[in-house]
Amino acid sequence: MRFVIALLLLMPGSVIASKLTSAVPRQFLGEWNAVLADCGTGDNESALRIRKNEIAYYESHGPIKAIVSHGRYEVALILELSGEGETWITTEHFKLSPGGDKLTSVNQPGDGYIRYRCPSKSK
């Protein structure tokens, strides 16, 4: 596990500004979706919910095993996901827009899957 965390710290960019944290930074928390009209419905495969120490995609979910933040707008995660009877370890690398309304998955160079922050359901 320490080897994988070390690899995350060596991602492109300044290692000095990166830090291992115990919970996902607050600005990344919440529900995200590629189609805002589908927020809260579970009807879109792009649905994503990020909590302090767990993540849920459309058909998989699980605990976040390690979190590395890089400045205010970038985070890398090591995930233990389960879905459809399987469990696996994977990584996720997110960049947040300066306005906090767009979350881009940038796992591979040139990748850029964008989700939008869903409105909160507070009442």
Per-residue pLDDT of the chain (123 residues), as tens digits, is 444 444 544 455 444 467 888 999 999 999 999 999 999 998 899 999 999 999 999 999 999 999 999 999 999 999 999 999 999 999 999 999 999 999 999 986 667 899 999 998 744
Instruction: Give domain status of residue 100, yes or no.
Output: yes
Instruction: Give domain status of residue 18, yes or no.
Output: no
Residue ranges making up the domain that contains 57: 2-12+26-117
CATH number for the domain that contains residue 55: 2.40.128
Structural domain total, the chain:
1
Instruction: Give domain status of residue 35, yes or no.
Output: yes
Distance between CA 83 and CA 62 in Å, rounded? 9
Instruction: Give domain status of residue 19, yes or no.
Output: no
Instruction: Give domain status of residue 94, yes or no.
Output: yes
Instruction: Give domain status of residue 20, yes or no.
Output: no
Distance between CA 53 and CA 36 in Å, rounded? 24
Instruction: Give domain status of residue 17, yes or no.
Output: no
Both tokens of residue 40? Answer: 């809260």
Say which residues have a Cβ less than 8 Å from residue 114's Cβ, sequence separation at least 6.
Answer: 34, 102, 103, 104, 105
Buried b (16+ CB within 10 A) or exposed e, 34-43: eeeeebeeee
Query: Which pTM was predicted?
Result: 0.82
Instruction: Give domain status of residue 122, yes or no.
Output: no
